[in-house]
Amino acid sequence: MPTTNHTAAPAGTPARLGASIRQFRDQHPHWFLLLGLMLAALLLMDFTTWLVLTLSGAAMGAMLFLMASGMTLTFGLMNVLNLAHGAFISLGAFAGATTLLFWLNDQAAASSLWLNLAGVLPALLFAVLVAAAIGLMFEWLVIRPVYGDHLKQILVTVGGSIILMQLIEVVWGPNEIPVPRPEAFSGAVVVAGIALEKYRLWAVALGVLVYALMTWVIERTRIGILIRAGVEDREMVEVHGYRVRLLFLGVFIAGSALAGLGGAMWAMYQELITAHMGDELMISVVVIIILGGLGSVKGCFFGAILVGLINLYVGFLEPRLAAVATVGLMVAVLMWRPQGLIPVIRV
């Protein structure tokens, strides 16, 4: 028990504190790293700046989580290295933008929250559906012949990615497209004198919601049991009467749909999209799933928030280092825990 008596055990208390920190570090490495990073940043800047950067970083992390969670499912659980994942991010962005620009422009341009939601929610839904539908075809045409062979997966998914992105350019043209962010999601709310951007708050809320939903499905439902079992021993899942192929097809579609959702959210965040935006985001996505631990949804969530935060913190403190911060974080985590923060796959 900690003591307030300063004369008692002058050497013992710090040692005990050190021991309990070490224990916390080993049992909750994801919390340890997240809190440590936030604390370190707080010491280097004033509180208001820190709070705004933390929210921005968390929002960026939440959107990166949406994109990366799909990839951690397909790579971590099905052992499929889908380098076309970025193309699904782009697809989601363009599908969402199309909805807002052409079909529900009135709702998006209105100045009521409910009308805006009536534009944004269908846009997100359409992004999810387009990415899921293309994901279904992609699995069938591209992934199915190369299950179990990483080298072939890399070759065909890079090829598939190029085709998908060129198709986006065929449909939407090669130029950048500006995406309107509806009014209810623009601007900021002021809390205790600090301006917090609304869209970022929404992004964090959606990220946490999707994280909770995925955790619930994987931990609590029969589908989740089957997915976890299928990762461990496909043959025994089939022996119990389940068609693993269908299960994995479903996971792949869900992963693509999540990429689409993340892409659409990112489109409204950046307010400018290109066919190759997915490729640019893939670097962060790959870093996140590796440092989080392959196949771990929880690790992916914390990894994404960490990447978002370190980007914003370092970007503020030393902009020239922002580009290396993400990769530096991954290298540091892997030196500490070679299998990532929360590994689920025993290699």
Partner 1 sequence: MSGASGNPRAALTLSGIHANIDQYHILEGVDLVVPAGELTVLLGRNGAGKSTTLRTIMGLTTIKAGRVRFGDHDITGWPTPRIARAGIAFVPEHMGVFGQLTVRENLVLAAINGPMDEDRLAWLLDLFPPLKKFWDRPAGNLSGGQKQMLAIGRAVIEPRQLLLIDEPTKGLAPAIINDLADALEQLKAEKVSILLVEQNFNFSRRLGQSVAVMNDGRVVHTGSMAELATDDALQHRLLGLGLGAHQ
Indicate whether 223 belongs to the interface with partner 1 (CB under 8 A). Answer: no
* CB-based contacts of 243, cutoff 8 Å, min separation 6: none
Identify the burial level of 192 via C-beta atoms within 10 angstroms of its C-beta, where 0-12 means exposed, 13-18 middle and 19 or more buried: exposed
Q: Which stretch binds partner 1 (CB under 8 A): 85-93, 194-202, 229-237, 314-322?
A: 229-237
Does residue 320 touch partner 1 according to CB under 8 A? Answer: no
Taking CB under 8 A as the criterion, the residue among 169, 183, 238, 271 binding partner 1 is 238
Applying CB under 8 A, among 43, 240, 319, 320 the residue interacting with partner 1 is 240
Does 233 bind partner 1 (CB under 8 A)? Our answer is: yes
Query: Is 147 near partner 1 (CB under 8 A)?
Result: no
342 interacts with partner 1 by CB under 8 A: no
Residues 227/247, Cβ–Cβ less than 8 Å: yes
Q: Are strands 272-273 and 194-197 parallel, antiparallel or unpaired?
A: unpaired
Pair of tokens at residue 208: 């946490």
**Minimum distance between the CB of residue 226 and partner 1, rounded to whole angstroms?**
7
3-state SS string for the chain: CCCCCCCCCCCHHHHHHHHHHHHHHHHCHHHHHHHHHHHHHHHHCCHHHHHHHHHHHHHHHHHHHHHHHHHHHHHHHCCCCCCCHHHHHHHHHHHHHHHHHHHCHHHHHCCCHHHHHHHHHHHHHHHHHHHHHHHHHHHHHHHHHHCCCHHHHHHHHHHHHHHHHHHHHHHHCCCCEECCCCHHHCCEEEECCEEEEHHHHHHHHHHHHHHHHHHHHHHHCHHHHHHHHHHHCHHHHHHCCCCHHHHHHHHHHHHHHHHHHHHHHHHHHHCEECCCHHHHHHHHHHHHHHHHCCCCHHHHHHHHHHHHHHHHHHHHHCHHHHHHHHHHHHHHHHHHCCCCCCCCCCC
The yes or no reply on residue 232 touching partner 1 (CB under 8 A) is yes
Tell me which stretch binds partner 1 (CB under 8 A): 146-154, 238-246, 256-264, 265-273. Answer: 238-246
Q: Does 222 bind partner 1 (CB under 8 A)?
A: yes
Closer by beta carbon to partner 1, 124 or else 218: 218
Q: Which is nearer to partner 1, 72 or 99 (CB)?
A: 72
Only one of the segments 68-76, 236-244, 257-265, 321-329 lies at the binding site for partner 1 (rule: CB under 8 A); that segment is 236-244
**Of 199, 255, 168, residue with least CA distance to 60:** 199
Q: Choose the binding region for partner 1 from 14-22, 159-167, 228-236, 262-270 (rule: CB under 8 A).
A: 228-236
Task: Determine, following the binding rule CB under 8 A, whether residue 46 of this chain makes contact with partner 1.
Answer: no
- Decide whether 60 or 344 has the Cβ nearer to partner 1: 344
CB of residue 219 vs partner 1: minimum separation in angstroms? 10
**According to the binding rule CB under 8 A, does residue 236 interact with partner 1?**
yes
C-alpha span between 191 and 52 (Å, rounded): 11
Nearer to partner 1, 246 or 335 (CB): 246
Q: Which of residues 158-187 bind partner 1 (CB under 8 A)?
A: none
Token pair in block for residue 312: 């914003």
297 binds partner 1 (CB under 8 A): no
Under the binding rule (CB under 8 A), the answer on residue 243 touching partner 1 is yes
347 near partner 1, judged by CB under 8 A: no
Q: Which of 228, 276, 315, 339 binds partner 1 (CB under 8 A)?
A: 228
State yes or no: residue 242 binds partner 1 (CB under 8 A).
Answer: yes
Size, binding site for partner 1 by CB under 8 A: 18
Q: How far is the CB of 222 from partner 1 (least distance, A)?
A: 7
CB of 242 vs partner 1, minimal distance in Å: 6
- Residues at the site binding partner 1, with contacts judged by CB under 8 A: 222, 225-226, 228-229, 231-233, 235-243, 344
